[in-house]
Amino acid sequence: MAIAGLFFYLFATITVASAFMVIASRNPVYSVLFLILAFVNSAGLFILLGAEFLAMILVVVYVGAVAVLFLFVVMMLDVDFAELREGFLQYLPVGGLVGFILAAELIIVVGAWTLAPELTASPKLPIPNPSEMTNTEALGRVLYTEYVYFFQAAGMILLVAMVGAIVLTLRHKEGVKRQIIADQVARTPATAIEVRKVESGKGI
Amino acid sequence: MEMAAVPNLMPALPEIILALGAMVLLMFGVFRGNDSADTISLSAVLLFAIAAIVILFGPQGEQVTFNGAFIVDDFARFLKIITLIGSAVTLIMARHWLAAEQFHRFEFGVLVVLATLGMMMMISANGLIALYLGIEMQSLSLYVAAALQRDSLRSTEAGLKYFVLGALSSGILLYGCSLIYGFTGSTQFPDIAASVASQGVSLGLLFGLVFLMAGLAFKISAVPFHMWTPDVYEGAPTPVTAFFAAAPKVAAMAMFARALVAGFPGATDQWQQVVVFIAIASMILGAFAAIGQNNIKRLMAYSSIGHMGFALVGLAAGTAGGIKGLVIYMTIYMIMSLGAFACILAMRRDGEPVEEIADLAGLAQTDRMMAVLLAALLFSLAGIPPLAGFFAKFYVFLAAIEAGLVTLAVLGVLASVVGAYYYLRIIKIMFFDDPDGVLDPMPSSLAIVLGVSAAFVIVFVAWPGPLVTAAQAAADALF
């Protein structure tokens, strides 16, 4: 148990510290790298909780895809972040007020937290014993049965997102040479190469 | 290992037809290119007709499937058919505009089908997860549709604005959903209602409810979450604006009503205050802000904000009578709005689209029929008897007074008097100002939509029975 506690504080401290560095560092590339550090350490926290599937998904999706996408954007777009931050103080009062209200609400809400006893006693779906079943199997058992509607609906939403991205950004430029496999395969030596006799001592 | 039972798919058959149809149309469009845009639009209309027939002749009564996530009752059936009609008419109206603008994107029809699928999921949502997925399905399609004219600065601005604000509202909605889940232990409306009945309304649940309503109010563009509406209406391509003003509003309002009535019947006193506030604010802002508008699409945006306020009066009553009023209101509003947009889509001068109210000057002299029919629709939108718009307002105000919300009803009537000014102003410009040019003749498809819509608002007084009976059955299904 002592080792688990030690690792919990290790992961938790690094997560909080790197999350702070995400917003504190001046260089946006450093920010993204700290974000990745925060993700990896959160994955460690999930493993301590016994949620190994979530931990792996966090690394694969957030570190592997989202953070890399962020890095791409940060490096590709020449955004002057120092300039973006210039108006920061100007928005501080309003932003601070909104943040303060949300924080106050959260405190009130969490302070009033009373979970009905019968809720914890009989959750809608029984949680399987982690020693008998892996996370992945437990999720798979409900994802395609109990939650099949949500799963399919999410799939349709992703289809819309894909259609939208293509509709709004794909442009067929004129004058770009494209690969047409059929034409390329169908070429014969007669059309593909030209044989010229070059007399010795002379160029073409 | 035991096999899981296959859920009953029959209640969701119309949705499945739309989903598969959208994918087939998408593949067809990809292989046939943009020349197939018109074919796809017409196929989409056919698809909506098939879905409507399946809804009409499918199993009746209350059907729940997917472990309680998906519900089909008389309320859902009626509003789904209204939504399908709205989407189909929009596609028919859009054909002329798309042809005239040389705007051939086959994705338009596909996106309308996908958005309609999202709307039907919203109407049938019986829990918070299903509700959120339906909203995202519809909203994502609408964001793309708003920005579809991607070489136009205003269209892309409209799409981006809608997207950013929509994402923010989705965040607020999810925050509310998570609080509700945390304090009631369920995401399904019947379980939430049971929990509220046994536990009462805790502070955390109240916060969740307010956040949920803020997110939903954004989707129906009710004040104070209306900021996006005028810019998006003005910037989006006109057929897309016509689409925004019709079917999505009906679906979002239906979802709003089901979430509150089915999910929180024990918290009526709490949500009633919020609905009363946004209803009053929407009616008043819609009435006053529309006065200064010169662009007719912006004017229709403020008009829709005001009309959402009036429809919310019915919801604020929180009774079966109020929901009946809401259903009647949304049906009549959608029909009036489609008719008005048929005119806006027909506003062209020498082949170029015009959108200023001043361009309608002297329409009575140049195109008498269009002017008279549009005037009938505008009178109806203003709520002047004996047109349909009057009865729409009548039913919601009646329900509000029966529920003891007299102040709300009085404020609503006053707001509709102010609102009448800007509708009458358009009529004055059409009939009494001198024309400074002739509008192109109205194409037959738009003329038919305008004619049917105007005929409906005029004839409704003589034959209100079917709509009122259907709305009554729909409202009773919720209680």
Distant-in-sequence, close-in-space partners of B176: CB < 8 Å, separation ≥ 6:
B207, B208, B209, B210, B211, B212, B213, B214, B215
Count of A-B CB contacts under 8 Å: 90
CB contact under 8 A, A160 and B111: yes
- Closest among B374, B355, B390, B386 to B424, alpha carbons compared: B374
CA–CA min distance A56, chain B (Å): 24
Burial class of residue A8 in the structure, from the number of CB atoms within 10 Å of its CB (0-12 exposed, 13-18 middle, 19+ buried): middle
Nearest CB to B137: which of A114, A149, A157? A157
Task: Supply the mean pLDDT for chain B.
Answer: 92
Q: For residue B65, give the 3-state DSSP assignment.
A: strand
Average pLDDT of the segment spanning B102-116 = 91
For tokens 């499937």, what's the residue? B65
ipTM: 0.92
The per-residue pLDDT for range B140-170, each reduced to its tens digit, is 999 999 999 888 899 999 999 999 999 999 9
User: Nearest chain B Cα to A106, which residue?
Assistant: B204
Nearest CB to A167: which of B107, B130, B191? B107
Under the banding of pLDDT at 50, 70 and 90, the label for residue B212 is very high
Report how far apart, in Å, the C-alpha atoms of B138 and of each of B68, B109, B112, B219, B229 are: 21, 14, 9, 10, 16
The per-residue pLDDT for range B23-68, each reduced to its tens digit, is 999 999 999 988 888 999 999 999 999 999 999 998 888 889 888 8
Average pLDDT of the segment spanning B3-21 = 88
Average pLDDT of the segment spanning B399-403 = 93
The per-residue pLDDT for range A4-47, each reduced to its tens digit, is 889 999 999 999 999 999 888 878 888 889 999 999 999 999 99
CB contact under 8 A, B133 and A105: no
Cβ-contact B226, B282 below 8 angstroms: yes
List the single best residue of B25, B67, B195, B202 to mutate versus A (max A Cβ within 10 A). Answer: B67
Q: Which of B115-124, B159-168, B460-469 has the lowest mean pLDDT?
A: B460-469
Cβ-contact B435, B306 below 8 angstroms: no
Query: pLDDT value at position A112?
Result: 65
CB contact under 8 A, B70 and A149: yes
Query: pLDDT value at position A114?
Result: 61
CB contact under 8 A, A168 and B133: no
Residue B341 has pLDDT above 60, yes or no: yes
Which residues of chain A neighbour B180 with C-beta distances below 8 Å? none
The per-residue pLDDT for range A107-123, each reduced to its tens digit, is 877 776 665 555 555 45
CB contact under 8 A, B19 and A156: yes
A140 touches chain B (CB under 8 A): no
Under the banding of pLDDT at 50, 70 and 90, the label for residue A82 is low
Query: pLDDT value at position B3?
Result: 64
- The two tokens of residue A128 are 């399987």
Which residues of chain B neighbour A109 with C-beta distances below 8 Å? 179, 203-204, 207
Which residues of chain A neighbour B26 with C-beta distances below 8 Å? 163
Residue B77 has pLDDT above 90, yes or no: yes
Q: Which of A78-82, A121-125, B254-258, B266-270 has the lowest mean pLDDT?
A: A121-125
The per-residue pLDDT for range A111-168, each reduced to its tens digit, is 766 655 555 554 555 667 767 788 888 888 888 888 999 999 999 999 999 999 999 8
Residue A81 has pLDDT above 70, yes or no: no
Under the banding of pLDDT at 50, 70 and 90, the label for residue B82 is very high
Average pLDDT of the segment spanning B111-130 = 95
Cβ-contact B407, B332 below 8 angstroms: no
Residue B285 has pLDDT above 80, yes or no: yes
Average pLDDT of the segment spanning B367-389 = 92
**Within a 13 Å sphere around the CA of B135, how many CA atoms are in the beta-carbon half?**
28
Percent of chain B predicted with pLDDT > 70: 99
Kindly compute the dihedral angle of the four CA atoms of residues B464, B466, B468, B469, in this order, to the nearest 10 degrees. Answer: 150
CB contact under 8 A, B203 and A112: yes
- The two tokens of residue A17 are 């510290």
The residues that bridge with B298 in the sheet, in sequence order, are none
CB contact under 8 A, A149 and B141: no
Cβ-contact B457, B336 below 8 angstroms: yes
**Within a 13 Å sphere around the CA of A107, how many CA atoms are in the beta-carbon half?**
6
- Closest among B135, B411, B134, B131 to B284, alpha carbons compared: B411
> What is the spatial distance between Cα B126 and Cα B68, in angstroms, rounded to a whole number?
7
